[in-house]
Structures are given as C-alpha cells and as structure tokens.
Copies of this chain bind each other. A is one copy, B any other.
Amino acid sequence: MSGLKIVVIGGGSSYTPELIDGFIRRAAELPVAEICLVDILAGQHKLDIVADLARRMLTRIGLDSKITTTMDRAAALQGADFVVTQFRVGGLAARARDERFPLQYGVLGQETTGPGGFAKALRTIPVILDICRDMTKICPEAWLINFTNPAGLITESVLTYTKVKCLGLCNVPIHMKMTIAKLLDAKANDVFIDFAGLNHLVWGRKVWHRGIDVTASVLEKMQDGAALTMKNIPDLKWDGDFLRSLGMVPCPYHRYYYMTDSILAEEQAAATTGGAGTRAEIVQAVEENLFKLYQTPELAEKPAELEKRGGAYYSDAAVSLISAIYNDKREIHTVNTVNQGAISGLPTNCVIETNCVISKNGARPLTVGTLPPEIAGLVQQVKAYEMLAVEAGVHGDSNKALQALANHPLIPSVRVAKQLLADLLSLNAAYLPQFKD
C-alpha cells in the first residue's frame, strides 16, 4: 500500500471529525491511504455515524483516503503506521462519576486532575497496556500518539512498561499559544513559548514574540479580563499580584491548584439538584446534539458546533505532530516524553511535558535545567503522585493507590484519601481487573 495507515482507537468519538479535518488540511504533506476507526461493540452505532461523516468530508474535498471501521483491534493494527488513542474507558458515564464522587469530601471532581483523574488512570492503564501488547506483536514500528487522559500518566505507563514508541499529546500547549497570540494581537507563528512541566501542569516559562520577551506583558493582559481558559475549565480570573510574582504563564488547569476553593465552590453549586450539572453531564447533552447533527446527510464538514465540545486545536496538534514525524521535520512541538535529564530534580525516567524537537525518531526534549522553586515543588509533588498512580494502576497495588492519593496536593488528609480510594474502587470495579486477586 502506498500511503499511511492511521488507526484511531476510540474512533467513534465525537472528536473524530476534528481529526479528519486535520488530515484534510495537511493532505499535501501527509499521504494517508487509510484511516481505520476502531471502537468497542457498545460504540458501534456512533462509530458508523462518524465514519459516514468522515467519508463525506473526504469525498467533498476530493481525497481518496479510505475510511474503514472495525471492532477487531488486532485486525486494525495490521500495517498501522500511526495509532492514535482517544478512547475513554467507561465513557462519559464514568467521567460523570469521577466528577461527582469527590465533592462530598470537599475535594474537586475533575476528569484528569485529583481523584477523578486517578480513577480514570486506573481504568485506562489495563486497556492501554493491552493495546501496547498488541502493537508490539502486530505493528512494532508504529507510533502511538496517545491523547487518552490523564495523558502524562498514561504515557508514563506505556513508556515504563512497554517497548512501544509513544508520544503523549495534549491540546493545552497549543491552546495557550493560540490564546496568547490573540492576547498579543500577533500571528501564532510569531509567538514562541518555553513550555515545561507535566501534562495539565505546564507553565510557559517565557513567551517571546519574534524573539522579544513579552512574558510580563502577557501576564498583565491575562488579568485584564482575558482569562485564557478552555471550554472544560471554569473561567476564573487570575490574580494580578500572583501572576507578577510567579513571572510565568500558568496553564488553564493550574486553576485547580491555585484557585482550589473557588473552583470547588463552583463545582458543588453545579452538582446540586437544579445546578448545571458536572462538565461530563453537560458534555453528554452536547454530544447527543452533535451526533444528531453528524447524521445530516448534507453535512460534509466539521460543524461549528463541535467547538463547544472542547478539544480545540486537537487535530492541529495531532496531525502536525504526525507530519513532523513522518516528514522528519525537526520542528519543535510540546509533547509528553521521557525526561532524560531535561528537567533537573525530576527522575531521569519519568514523563514530562515539554518542548521537543520532533523527527522520524521521535522526540528529543530541549534542555530545561533546574526549575525555580516557584514551580519546582508542585511539579515534583504531582510527579510523585503520578509515579505512585502508575504503580497502583499497573500492578493493582492498593498500598500505592493510597499513597498516590495521600500525596495528591488536592486531597487534604489521609482520612479523606482512604475514603476516596474506597469509593473509587467500588464505583469503578467493573473496569479494574488489576485490583481483583
């Protein structure tokens, strides 16, 4: 076959048209022969809807890449060049539980951060390791582009426990870049950000516009109403004194750490009867509408409504990364990869999110050096949590699980950590084979 085979696991996701749109926009540099959408039986209906829309999109533009669908993952992986994972174990229902169960203990409920993210990690690790076992056998040379959350922690599981070539990807860095470019009224390509940290805990240590350091100016603009957030994160204003004293640009997710009390209050209000519901619950409605829309036979483009779903620039990040690998571009992308000493003070083998030069051989991080104490401690504390979470998730080790939660900065005591752990193990029992003996 001349041309690439892209396998999308979780292909029935409402995000897929976004991804297809990305491949369309980069068709000139990325010769895609086949995009194989894989999902599980329960998702077949959505998968068919999405596949049909994808085909209409390609037809409209005159591309002859083939869209295929299957529930047979092993078959899909035959001949794969890139495997994109965007699946969600337990679906939005599980996410909704993740968002609700911590609230009763006065702890944030969030998809990727805190106990919710921890539950998601435990559900996801067995599945991603299983995918990797298949890839090792069937397509050992293929690249895994992991978008499944919590992306840093899942990527660390893959890179620690398998031989699969994997990059972890998140749209937060590109989202920050685009938003900051807007703040600066600048072209995105003229803005460069020195990102470093962990997934959903990444700072822009410096922002340059055409090589001029504009960090201070960005920080001023960020507090002047422009809040630089994302669809799925409450749009709370940043404190000007704090930003100035920090001297670096926090990512939208940092609100969970820096504004814990305010966000918790918002979440609790939303979660009460009569409230707006949690983010997952809102998204469920958005999704339903999206899938209705996707079935419109006339629709042959990514619909504008998709933007409400979140995940902006996801396809840009993913497809441009795939192109940088395929075309050996040696461009700088912000991805999750092994530290290797790039950030001093973090273990050499852990996964970080940072600027990397991307080539056919993957990612090589730019050297970051020592993080200043303003951010070093939080990064190290969250990485300790992540390392414990990976051990807990891979080995089904409840001691590590308790330590993971007790080490999470958003969990106020061991007592609460124990309760959260008991709850999440019970709520997710169906998805946690590793914790059955």
Q: How far does the alpha carbon of A389 sit from the alpha carbon of B215 in the complex, in Å?
A: 24
How many copies of this chain does the complex contain?
4
Say if the beta carbon of A412 comes within 8 Å of chain B.
Answer: yes
Stretch from A173-181, A291-299, A400-408 contacting the other chain: A400-408
Q: How far does the alpha carbon of A383 sit from the alpha carbon of B376 in the complex, in Å?
A: 10
**Residue contact B366 to A259, C-beta cutoff 8 Å:** no
Nearest CB on B from A380, distance (A): 4
Q: A341-B344, A369-B340 are in contact. Are A192 and B261 (CB under 8 A)?
A: no
Say if the beta carbon of A385 comes within 8 Å of chain B.
Answer: yes
**Residue contact B360 to A341, C-beta cutoff 8 Å:** no
**Residue contact B369 to A348, C-beta cutoff 8 Å:** yes
Q: Which residues of B contact A413 (CB under 8 A)?
A: 258-262
Say if the beta carbon of A427 comes within 8 Å of chain B.
Answer: no
Nearest CB on B from A399, distance (A): 4
Q: How far does the alpha carbon of A344 sit from the alpha carbon of B212 in the complex, in Å?
A: 30
Give the number of chain A interface residues (Cβ < 8 Å): 67
Say if the beta carbon of A131 comes within 8 Å of chain B.
Answer: no
Q: Which of B244, B345, B365, B383 contacts A399 (CB 8 A)?
A: B244
Q: How far does the alpha carbon of A391 sit from the alpha carbon of B114 in the complex, in Å?
A: 31
Q: How far does the alpha carbon of A359 sit from the alpha carbon of B366 in the complex, in Å?
A: 13
Interface mask (A315-334 → B, CB under 8 Å = 1, otherwise 0): 00000000000001010100
Q: Which residues of B contact A169 (CB under 8 A)?
A: none
Q: Which residues of B contact A374 (CB under 8 A)?
A: 384, 388, 403, 407
Stretch from A36-44, A225-233, A414-422 contacting the other chain: A414-422
Interface mask (A184-213 → B, CB under 8 Å = 1, otherwise 0): 000000001000000000000000101111
Q: How far does the alpha carbon of A211 sit from the alpha carbon of B364 in the complex, in Å?
A: 13
Q: How far does the alpha carbon of A388 sit from the alpha carbon of B204 in the complex, in Å?
A: 20
Say if the beta carbon of A154 comes within 8 Å of chain B.
Answer: no
Q: Which residues of B contact A213 (CB under 8 A)?
A: 361
Known contacts A210-B328, A340-B367, then 5 further A-B pairs from the complex at CB < 8 Å, ordered by chain A residue: A211-B359, A262-B415, A374-B388, A380-B380, A380-B381
The interface of chain A, by Cβ under 8 A from chain B, is 192, 208, 210-213, 239, 241-242, 244-246, 258-262, 328, 330, 332, 340-342, 344-348, 357, 359-361, 364-370, 373-374, 376-378, 380-385, 387-388, 398-400, 402-403, 406-407, 409, 412-418
